[in-house]
Chain A
Amino acid sequence: MNVNILEERTGQVYEKGQGPFSLKCNLDSLPGAVSQRACVFCGSRVVLYPITDALHLVHGPIGCAVYTWDIRGALSSNRELHRLSFSTDLRERDVIFGGEEKLEASLLELIERYMPSAAFVYSTCIVGIIGDDIQAVCKRVSQKTGVKCIPVQSEGFKGNKRAGYEAACNALIELVGSGPIDGISPFSINILGDFNLAGEIWIIKDYYRRMGIEVVSTITGDGKVKEIQRAHGARLNVVQCSGATLSLAKMMEERYGIPYIRVSYFGVDDMADALYRVADHFKDKRIMENTRSLIKEELDSLYPALKEFRKDLKGKRAAIYVGGAFKAFSLIKAFRLLGMKVVLVGSQTGTREDYEELEAVTDPGTVIVDDSNPLELSEFLKEKDVDIFVGGVKERPIAYKLGIGFCDHNHERKEALEGFIGMYNFAKEVHATVMSPVWRFVPRKEMRS
């Protein structure tokens, strides 16, 4: 492989078939390498953001709040407090004299204005340095107003995005267990690790409804404080995603004895597998029958449609770079279903187990990369002669600048990609970008022909 990689990063890139598998990961990002990663605050904000009836107050200077204002397609079935951006907007004076007073006044002001069901207060870098006691402020304001205020210890520099997930789960567990649980069905679950982007959780909820399963709470997509408070009444936690909410499931298992399973709702195989595993768990004949007929019904309408796309897409080459690795597994399968070949796969925060699994499921020659950056990615795309790149907002211009198709698999997406309908939408989007006539005009293709 003829790609220029910083010496310190060579251990974080592997080409399948080139020597025994080994990939370093879970390292601090290399200074100056232009990592695509974010920070602890980002991790917490991602997890808690979709709770729609809570106040999300960012305690710090304005940047952290302004860059996370309404940036995600997390939809709500009623209130939309999560789509507003609240900040204590700290100034020099606050940094010198401390920001606690301003935080308390801000909380009181916003609680009075919006009457939220709860309030999350996010620490940012600077709060960790000046040492504001946000715990004490939250306690005081909770007592004064009766609205539960929960501190989120998300100082940006205290680790990477994963540490932020932990901080968010630590905040969530404060809510769980405080609501009534009577009348909850024995066939009941919580949906964890789905953020209701483009209404995805509603698709999944509908599947569970058709199976005869009650969804007690959705964490955190279309999240409602009251429902999360009842989450301990569910009999099973169904966890999606690369561990964003996994530690919450573990805490709930420990505290309330609720078992959990890990699933993915992306792609046909994983979607069907998720439903079957939930059905299996409850060992109920009726639920199993419902599940079978649901999946059959969905596939009967989906497969003919996919076949059409497959005709055009067969043999095209795809590259994947995502935040957490779990999405990559499903994407590899989804591309295979469309007859396509994955030649590059990477993630910002994958774990050892993630990468081992990726190595197992990919074809020889596939590049696997951890915590990559624009220069590396652009070289991989060219080297592997890719037709479509899947990633987030920061990856998009890398593909476009080189004249390569792109599929937005990010948190601001407007198309639902989960569920069986999501597979159809995915195929449609992949088809739309790969088959566009614009590529015939880009220099990359001119050179080839």
Chain B
Amino acid sequence: MSKTALIALIFVYLGILFLIALFAEKNKGSKLVSHPVVYALSLAVYCSAWTYYGSVGMAAKSGVEFLTIYLGPIIAAPLWIVLLKKIIQLSKVYNVSSIADFISLRYGNSRSLGAFVTLVCAASIIPYISLQLKAISETFEIVSTSTLGIEGSSVITDSTFYIALILAVFASFFGTLALDASKNKTGVMFSVAFESVLKLTFFLIVGVYVTYYVFDGTSDIYEQAELGLDLNQLSTIKGLSGGINWYFSIALSFLAIFLLPRQFQTSVVEFTNRKQLKTSIWFFPLYLLLFNVFVIFIAWGGMLILGNQANADYFTLLIPLHFGDHWLAILVFLGGLSAVISMVVVSTVALSTMLSNNLIIPYGFIKNLTRSKSFKNEKTIKNIRRLCVFSSIILAYLLYALFDPKVSLFSIGLISFLIIAQLAPSFFIGMFWNRGSALGSKAGIILGMMMIGFTYLLPFITENVLSNSQFVENGLYGVQMLKPYALFGIDLLNPVNHALYWSLLFNTGAYLVLSVIKKGNYRERNYGEMFVNSERVVELKENAYVWKGEANVEDIQNILVRFLGETKANKALRVFRKRYQVNPEEKLADARFINFSERLLTGAVGSASAKILISNVAKEKPVSLVEVLKILEENKETISVNKSLEEQSQKLIKLTSELKSANDELKIQDQLKDDFLDTVAHELKTPITSIKASSEVLTEAEDMPFELRQKFLNNIIQDTERLNVLINDILDLEKMASGRDVLNLKLQALDRCIEDAINGISSIAKRKNVDVRFQSKTQIQTEFDYSKMLQVFTNLLSNSLKFVSENDGKIKVFLEENSEGISFKIRDNGKGIPEEELDLIFKKFYQSKNQTFKKPLGSGFGLAICKQIVQMHGGEIFANSNLEKGAELIIKLPKRNA
């Protein structure tokens, strides 16, 4: 493929990316764009050209060691997610927009530390971008000329420069679209996710191509490799030193997944919801695993086909080209381009944010910015960021131009990792140790960087650039102990891990020792406390801010207007006042307002600058650690108060439901009572009606025969008696129900009482022709109230009489005594009790619908009174539900014969 055509293809491809990014910006809320997988895929920005090309090269040179870079994140995925949660929480609370912000904030918003971290990040990112450009340029050359990339044949071409330029424009346009650096860059992230899909797909295609098309599957490659290659050297971990190297390499990649600015950008700054983490915990490791499936086979295949002369980094291109499959080489090239673009864009966006917020604005532009108008500020800040993106890519290009082409992708990538790992002690220990100080952090980073310089960069340059091996072989000034790759005689480790070991050792040591020796200032300690107790801080939000001093709302408002614009600033103020119900007339700013403003400004200009801006208009007084602790403690109390409130409300909910059911019960009772009152009214009115009618008849009829007159008078007397009984019943039940009635207990025969009751109803039974039988084997003596139990038995008997039919009605009564007590049963062959009424019949006011006989005393009290009396005797009464015909009522009484 000609160079022009390839350039055109690149333009088309970039155009597509532009469109995709634009599409995502326009459809921010859509399901596709906000899907958690997009977030997980954007994390795969981890896999840059270094992965895409470099791991094959590494596998060809040193075997399975390439895996360490991916095993770190895979093994640590669960831990990574846990730590990430804390980092994200803190970052969201404080509007953190970069790792430099994060670290500087932890150490009391230290301006100089932020600048330091920014420089470290730049030192890590720019060579890394150079490496990406190198990869692009070389692959461009290979694909466009179809020459086999013999090592050392790389040429710096104009096309590389143009590619760098295009990248710079793409990144600066999209990455800096929004001024608030902590705001999400949806467009960029979506295109990154898209590129992650592309690079994996194309890499898998070439993997399948090599393994199954060029060779006959994995075992074929293995068998051939067994004959043609030194497999032992390529597929094992080499002894103790190999093991230790593995360990360090894995640790290194683990640190990198947190600390690389592009990872911080994608995983923390672009984080929006919890689902994203849930998805990433399995998706991201899976992605890395897939990426590494074919690496070994491509490397072995390449070595078998192309020999040791070819540049192993580009086997994925060279193998298809070798077999004349240009289309595949182009696909692979596009995959590599995707890897490069996503890495470069995200890295430079992150770097530009840091450079502008932590270096350029706080150290140079802040004064200009505070003086100028708001719209100008926005523009200036944006331009600064664009310039940063642009210039860092150009700087990387220049660095690339100076590179020795012999240096492999993998070793440049490792430098990047090594440098960024220097942030680890300040970053990780600081999150869990409140004592860590800015001084310790700075000293540690500087010492670590110096160690890298000595143990890695310096020998790297003397060997590869100056081609002078004296320094490496004999050490500094010929001192053996100062051999850069075997400092103090430790030569177990490969150069990278060796450098990692020493740099981190010195770094951590300095950090710990200085932090212990010299306490940080109050700001550092306060923020230390906040970061360690992040859980509580998250709940406190603005209240978590410890600030004492004097400031005018108006002054701060002016700053906000200047940096956010009139509308945004006013909107933010309204939100603040509403949230905390602050009086708009309030002239003095409190800690919450200071914090709120600082967070807003942090999003715009970074934490260090925000602090400077605020401190310009506010007189701050030191805050003691005691006060910080008190605030955190207060929050703890709030939490426990909240908890007990929650419990209370749970109790209330329970109580409410209890009340509700009680109320329902009452409603039923009320209904029953209504029904009862109706019944009572009816029952009372019937005799009254009769009395009234009879009396009227008597007053009118003077000529009435004596016997008839007598009969009417008798009716009146009868009905009066009936009224009397009814009223007594009502009073009886009321008395028993309220517990005012006392039993007149005597030891006597229960069967006699039953016989009396049967005698009492015998005349009615005879009239109805109902057969009543009582069987009792023995006399049963127990303590009971005779008249009350007589009432019970009479009641039950007349109930039965009511329900049996005339002429063939049968009522049987049983009385037994056993170990459990006395049981009385009355069974009839009447209509029986409908199942749904079994429990209801004992309720007050209840009248069955099955009556066949107009009751003599149908007040609806009968069974309710029985139940009361039986319960007063310590017994129970219930209806037998297992009957086919008729009804059976059972009374169980405890035997009492004291």
Q: Do A and B bind each other?
A: no
